[in-house]
Amino acid sequence: MVHCYKNNGYNIVLDVDSGAVHVFDDIAYDMVGLYEDNDRDDIFSKMKSMHPSVSEDELGEVYEEIGQLKESGDLFSEDVYKDRVIDYTKRPTVVKALCLHVAHACNLSCKYCFAEEGLYHGKKAELMPFEVGKQALDFLIENSGSRHNLEVDFFGGEPLLNWQVVKDLVAYGRSVEKEHDKHFRFTLTTNGVLLDDEVMEFVNREMDNVVLSIDGRKEVHDRMRPFIRGDGSYDLIVPKFKKLADSRNQDRYYVRGTFTAGNKDFSKDVLHLADLGFKQISVEPVVAPEDEQYALTMEDLPELYEEYDRLAAEMAERMDTDREFNFFHFMIDLEGGPCVYKRLSGCGSGTEYLSVTPTGELYPCHQFVGNDGMKIGDVYNGIQNKELQQEFKGCNVYSRKECSECFAKYYCSGGCAANAYHFTGDIRGTYEVGCALMRKRVECAIMLKAARELKEQ
Amino acid sequence: MKHIKTLKTKKLNNTVKTGGCGECQTSCQSACKTSCTVGNQKCE
């Protein structure tokens, strides 16, 4: 499969199944679309009408170059991975990561929160007791096989509402690492309201990553992320986030925002965060039912595509200057990255990644918490709903027809099971708006790679 | 090549034999946790 597109002045040709990426000049770009379905004479005849000033010799050069790429397996390659990947997904798996919901409570009242002010469809606030968290870490150690590195996310609600338990769980984790030949990588997600010097010092010592929730411009942030009493949280959190980001040398953190129908000009929010000095930025589309006022729909796509293009062009402009920054959804590793098995076999939710509620229930991921039909077990008795786990294990690119035919499949892994479930009622469905935006982001990310490499050349 | 520039990329078909150890991290399309997107993941 070949995907051809133009972005920011580059003619990009992605050979999907080999992973090869090429930048074509205008003549070659027009020819590649004709190459597979026409013979040489027809191609030359059509090209002459499109490019009357181009000589026969030059057309011959282009034809030859395309042929060389095909010969070397870097163009028009085919997907030969399906059977192997499906076999791979049947392998025994271990638990690699847990999301600990240490607080089903929040001190903000964000309008788009899938956790419903942190309560996750519950009626009252709940904090995870230390004993439940300790049992969760023991469960992870016992079910992680010979794996050394284990990921644990402190999540909510707002985790800082249960800060002492977070610290105690980190201490417990560190105390048992050596005995079990494990290493915990801890992450904290916070809205910043309770962030202070003591929290920052601990976070910088113990947390591999920190996610700081902020949506961008003050008016955008305060409209969607107010306190329960109604006033905005921007002025309180920005100085603290800047201090924390600087104290981590602008590394191993993200400022993470959500854009909605209320700020479809979200590139301005990304650039606002960049101009505040943040270097690690993620601003992501809201996922909400179509009848929500702030939801993004298929009708919004052209406007959102333009916004991603605008952002990518600005990032290309800032490349190699002190105003450069990373944007989570444009980060792609063309030279490294995982093998095809990982790329095509899904995110690991329900098998390698589980979420733990304050009472110790296990769910396939944080976006399913509170949905009783999706409870998969608990930290005391392990996985009990084996049938549900098998369903998640079977989630891969080939379990969705749309994915197997999509050019972005090696960079997306088949999309988000939770989004698919919430929009189609099936974890093997596809969430159309999310897919469309993912494809656009992959195009922009590859363009930025091309811009950097050609600049270096 | 005169008309085509090829970027440095990892050939996916070369990973068929070398890959599949299962040691990589989980991945996620959102930055709300430890993982990164599969497109930016390290073979770890």
Give the per-residue pLDDT at A432: 85
| pLDDT-derived band at A368, boundaries 50, 70, 90 | very high
For B4, nearest residue in chain A (alpha carbons)? A24
Residues across chain A = 457
| pLDDT-derived band at B40, boundaries 50, 70, 90 | confident
Give the A:B interface size as CB pairs under 8 Å: 195
Give the per-residue pLDDT at B11: 82
User: What end-to-end distance do the CA atoms of chain B give, in Å?
Assistant: 34
Q: Using an 8 Å Cβ cutoff, are A53 and A44 in contact?
A: no
Q: Looking at the complex, report in whole angstroms how far the Cα of residue A120 sits from the nearest Cα belonging to chain B.
A: 16
Q: Looking at the complex, report in whole angstroms how far the Cα of residue A164 sits from the nearest Cα belonging to chain B.
A: 20
Give the per-residue pLDDT at A133: 98
Given a cut of 90, whether residue B25 has pLDDT beyond it is no
Q: Which residue has the higher pLDDT, A169 or A121?
A: A169
Average pLDDT over residues A175-179: 93
Share of chain A above pLDDT 90, in %: 78
Taking CA atoms, A252 is separated from A22, A212, A367, in Å, by 32, 11, 24
Cβ partners under 8 Å of residue A82, min gap 6: A398, A404
Give the per-residue pLDDT at A436: 98
Given a cut of 70, whether residue B35 has pLDDT beyond it is no
Return the residue in B8, B10, B12 with the most chain A beta carbons within 10 A, the one to mutate for interface testing: B12
Closest to B19 (Cβ–Cβ): which among A18, A339, A412? Answer: A339
> How do residues A137-172 score in pLDDT, each as one tens digit?
999 998 999 989 998 999 999 999 999 999 999 999
Average pLDDT over residues A8-28: 97
Going B4 to B9 to B12 to B16, the CA torsion angle's sign is: positive
Pairwise CA distance, residues A264 & A150, whole Å = 37
Given a cut of 90, whether residue A82 has pLDDT beyond it is no
Given a cut of 80, whether residue A445 has pLDDT beyond it is yes
Q: Using an 8 Å Cβ cutoff, are A48 and A55 in contact?
A: no
Amino acid at A266: F
Average pLDDT over residues A107-136: 85
Contacts of B13 in chain A (CB under 8 A): 17-18, 73, 77, 80, 340
Return the residue in A62, A110, A333, A410 with the most chain B beta carbons within 10 A, the one to mutate for interface testing: A333
Give the per-residue pLDDT at B44: 61
> How do residues A392-426 score in pLDDT, each as one tens digit?
989 889 988 889 989 999 999 899 999 999 899 99
